Amino acid sequence: MESVNPTTEETIDSYAEYTDGEVETALEEADRAFADWSQTEIRERQQLLANAAEILRNNKQEYAELITREMGKPVSQAVAEVEKCAWGCEFYAERAIELLQNEVIGTVPEAKAYVRYEPLGVVLAVMPWNYPFWQAFRFAAPTLAAGNVGVLKHASNVPGCALAIEEVFEKAGFPESAFSSLLIGSSKVDDVITNSRVRAVTVTGSEFAGKAVAETAGRELKKTVLELGGSDPFVVLEDAPLESAVETAVTARNQNSGQSCIAAKRFVVVDEVYDEFTDRFVEGVRELEVGDPLDESTDVGPQARAGLMEELHEQVEQSREAGATVVTGGKPLEGDGHFYPPTVLTDVPRDCPAASEETFGPVAAVIRADDAEEAIEIANRTRYGLGGSVWTEDLERGERLAGRIEAGCVFVNEIVKSDPRVPFGGIKDSGYGRELSQQGIHEFVNEKTVWVQE
């Protein structure tokens, strides 16, 4: 298993994949760790999460540079990712006891009934490379706070990040094997899922990965949470605050070099402001600095792997051949590294890849709508349902239209984001289940009814 720098295309390090025996041992140890960890006082679990947050903050530059070297994220954004991981740990360090308290249910006067939230056991997380720290901590913080044990199967191009995350929990004082990483390829995931010690699985990744995991877990009757792809609409109405809408749009499409499931991908703009929005959007995109992600001034770094860049370019070419206009960008940059420039497409046909598929890179499709009604119809014209946003000065109108967008989360006059305080997840082909907040910590617990008759 090799870690390759996508900026220089040089091998950073090589790691030995776990043998079948090592995987079995790791799962045995995780299962043993659960017996004690599940009985640990919740206040102790909270303190250890607070310790993890402190370690993350104290070493954020080191971890950020590791992220940047392995998958190419601009280093300033990588620092922000590590800080967000610390925030996620702090949220559950402060709120877990409240979120897991018994829920009393009124029944009859002579009985006491309540729901208690008990951990399930070993939970497997199959995580992606694009936010290599945040995706893992978004899973780990609530899972560990609830008393479960976490096992991480990370993406094969970020093994250094996987081991660094495991080390954070070790340094924080978590019991051995309360959280562990398995350095294995995708071909071994099914065997881990079917292992009797694994009680539940969560996946963040592609539709293909999610469906494969859900199929295996379904046969085993194991709980799953899936956070998959997205083609988020960014709806701009005639009364939108254009200055903030354009500024946010540039960031929403190009942060993390466009490699984000909740990045805005389809910019649906009503006719009245289409030309002005598009001109200002293209101008903002052209001002982005593409280059070495370790340079603090860089806005857009390389794509994480050569194959990903090639797939993105093929989507752009197919869209252009179908009739879309490439206004800026549109082809890989010459030289070392997997660099694809921020790209804007207009005149985007309905069924071309830029309008119907997930473009996982800095490619924006700007689509004209006659009015708000057509804009909402276009926004929902997708098999995905992860996030979306609506831009308008009329907040009541924005809230009404947000209710009509088919997605797991919709923001009015704000960038789509995950936040520890609110639940996150999608519908349709974007998956099911929720992460973060109270809903996230309740995904992997036994909601046990207790009835005490007097």
Instruction: Let me know: does 354 contact 319? Beta carbons within 8 Å.
Output: yes
Average pLDDT over residues 97-106: 97
Average pLDDT over residues 167-196: 98
Chain centroid to Cα 297, Å, comes to: 25
pLDDT of residue 195: 98
Instruction: Let me know: does 176 contact 164? Beta carbons within 8 Å.
Output: no
Question: How many angstroms separate the CA atoms of 113 and 105, rounded?
Answer: 5
Residue 347: which region, alpha, beta or left (left: phi > 0; alpha: psi -120 to 50)?
A: left
pLDDT of residue 130: 98
Query: Over pLDDT 70: what percentage of the chain?
Result: 100
**pLDDT band at residue 226 under the 50/70/90 scheme:** very high
The alpha carbons of the chain give a radius of gyration, in whole angstroms, of 23
227 is catalytic: yes
- Of the listed 29, 70, 166, 227, which one is catalytic? 227
Instruction: Let me know: does 7 contact 337? Beta carbons within 8 Å.
Output: yes
Residue type, 164: A
For the chain, the domains span 2-228+430-453, 232-419
pLDDT tens digit string along 37-65? 999 999 999 999 999 999 999 999 999 99
**pLDDT band at residue 427 under the 50/70/90 scheme:** very high
**pLDDT band at residue 356 under the 50/70/90 scheme:** very high
pLDDT of residue 255: 98
**pLDDT band at residue 416 under the 50/70/90 scheme:** very high
Give the pairing type, strands 387-391 and 409-412.
parallel
User: How many CA atoms, within 13 angstroms, populate the side-chain half-sphere of residue 301?
Assistant: 28
- Of the listed 261, 406, 409, 443, which one is catalytic? 261
pLDDT of residue 323: 98
**pLDDT band at residue 207 under the 50/70/90 scheme:** very high
The domain covering 2-228+430-453 belongs, at the CATH homologous superfamily level, to Aldehyde Dehydrogenase; Chain A, domain 1 (3.40.605.10)
Average pLDDT over residues 415-434: 98
> Any residues with CB less than 8 A from the CB of 420 and at least 6 apart, and which?
87, 88, 91, 92, 141, 436, 437
Reported pTM:
0.97
Identify the CATH class of 232-419: alpha beta
pLDDT tens digit string along 361-370? 999 999 999 9
**pLDDT band at residue 410 under the 50/70/90 scheme:** very high
pLDDT of residue 359: 98
DSSP class of 18: P
pLDDT of residue 448: 98
pLDDT tens digit string along 118-145? 999 999 999 999 999 999 999 999 999 9
